[in-house]
């Protein structure tokens, strides 16, 4: 059995006018070619054709951690008294 079986995840990212990110999981494919074929099928469809550079294909190995560290959560707030938006992190990983 192949201990390094990889799958290919296709996503599409569209950054909205306010900077918010809209990410769509398109699908998970057994080969790079199948993933690229999915992108080719969708890139001319409504919405996708306006942001064709938003597609990504990422390989993932099964039974392997792809995120190995902690994370921080950031909150954005309108701080117009100080001249704009502020970014405040939550408490970080211990």
Please, which residues have CB within 8 angstroms of residue 57's CB and are 6 or more apart in sequence?
8, 9, 10, 32, 35, 36, 39
* Residue 73, domain member (yes or no): no
| Gap between the Cα atoms of 45 and 64, Å rounded | 34
- Does residue 36 lie within any of the structural domains? yes
Domain that holds residue 19: 1-63
Assess whether pLDDT exceeds 70 at residue 3: no
How many CB atoms sit inside 10 A of residue 48's CB?
Answer: 18
pTM: 0.70
Answer whether residue 86 is part of any domain.
no
Based on the structure, what is the number of domains in the chain?
1
Q: What is the pLDDT of residues 43-64, one digit of tens each?
A: 999 999 999 999 999 999 999 9
């Amino acid at each position: 059995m192949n201990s390094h079986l990889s799958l290919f995840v296709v996503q599409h990212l569209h950054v909205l006018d306010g900077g918010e990110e809209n990410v769509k999981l398109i699908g998970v494919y057994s080969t790079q070619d199948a993933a690229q074929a999915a992108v080719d099928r969708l890139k001319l469809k409504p919405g996708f054709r306006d942001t064709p550079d938003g597609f990504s294909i990422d390989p993932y190995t099964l039974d392997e951690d792809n995120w190995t560290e902690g994370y921080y959560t950031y909150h954005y707030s309108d701080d117009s008294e100080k001249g704009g938006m502020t970014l405040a992190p939550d408490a970080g990983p211990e």
